[in-house]
Amino acid sequence: MSKNNKIDPNAWMVTFADLVMLLLTFFVMLLTMSSLDKKKLRNLMTHFKASTGVLQLAGAGEVYSLGGFINQYNDSESLLVVDQKHFLTQIKLVTNIKNVIKNLSKEITLSDDDRGVAVVFHGDILFESGKTTIRKEVYPVLDLIANAIEECPNDILIMGQTDNTPIKNKMYESNWELSASRGLSVLDYFLKEKGLSPSRFSVGGYGPSRPLYANTSEKNRLLNRRVEIIFKHLKEI
């Protein structure tokens, strides 16, 4: 071996330093995860299209109630996304909704965001175009949601939303008024027909300001016209 190729006896310290740095990073990560607010992390993860997990509520073909789902969702510290399959199955079992809705999985959806878990009625399921009187055929679905509200401690937010088509109804000056009035109609049903406590509810209208899709086709406008019944996330003490 030539004198110019002498082995540096301290070269091992470079690798050792790298190892120590990796271990330090690992333990910092463990410490961070141990003090992480998992509820807030779950809420944050709802903003991503691809979620890290699915809450499976189906055992051996059993159908769980919406209230049971909400309660389990409240109590879980796992990263969850909403599985609407069993909720829609329950709707089919207790209602004859197929006479009103052609595509149940698209016209009634179950989702979650930073506000809470939302049951969303799209299109003209709840109301005829330009009107605020709830279709009687949909009462059984609202009854199903009312039962879930009774089973859960969550406060409820009801929000009406429209597309951007200018309103041609003399009763309402704008889509904002129409959307808010539809939310109030749903609230009125829960309070007067189901006897739920008004202290748990808040209601409003977004008008055309929060479209799910660009209002460039009748199909998109139909989906943008919707009412959301939201089980708000529980406030942590």
Topology of domain 46-232, CATH:
60s Ribosomal Protein L30; Chain: A; (3.30.1330)
With beta carbons less than 8 A apart as the criterion, state whether 109 and 122 touch.
yes
Are the CB atoms for 40 and 106 separated by under 8 Å?
no
- Which residue would you say has higher pLDDT here, 13 or 222? 222
- List, for residues 79-130, the tens digit of each pLDDT value: 455 566 767 777 777 666 666 666 677 788 888 888 888 999 998 889 988 8
> What is d(CA 10, CA 95) in angstroms, rounded to the nearest whole number?
77
**Rounded Cα gap, residues 110 and 121, in angstroms:** 9
DSSP state of 190: I
Is the separation of the CB atoms in 227 and 120 below 8 Å? yes
Instruction: Identify the pLDDT of residue 42.
Output: 53
pLDDT of residue 37: 54
CA gap 97, 93 in Å, rounded: 10
Whether 87 contacts 110, CB under 8 Å: yes
pLDDT tens-digit readout, 27-80: 777 666 555 555 555 555 454 444 434 444 444 344 457 787 777 777 765 545
CA distances from 236 to 40, 149, 154 (A): 10, 19, 12
Token pair of 157 as six digits: 């937010």
> What gap in Å lies between CA 133 and CA 43, rounded to an integer?
34
| Model confidence at 155: pLDDT above 50 | yes
Q: Per the confidence metrics, is the pTM higher than 0.85?
A: no
The answer to whether 122 touches 223, Cβ cutoff 8 Å, is yes
213 three-class SS? coil
123 contacts: CB under 8 Å, gap ≥ 6: 107, 222, 223, 225, 226
β-strands 201-207, 116-122: how paired?
unpaired
Q: 23 pLDDT exceeds 80? A: yes
Give the tokens for residue 185.
Answer: 């109609």
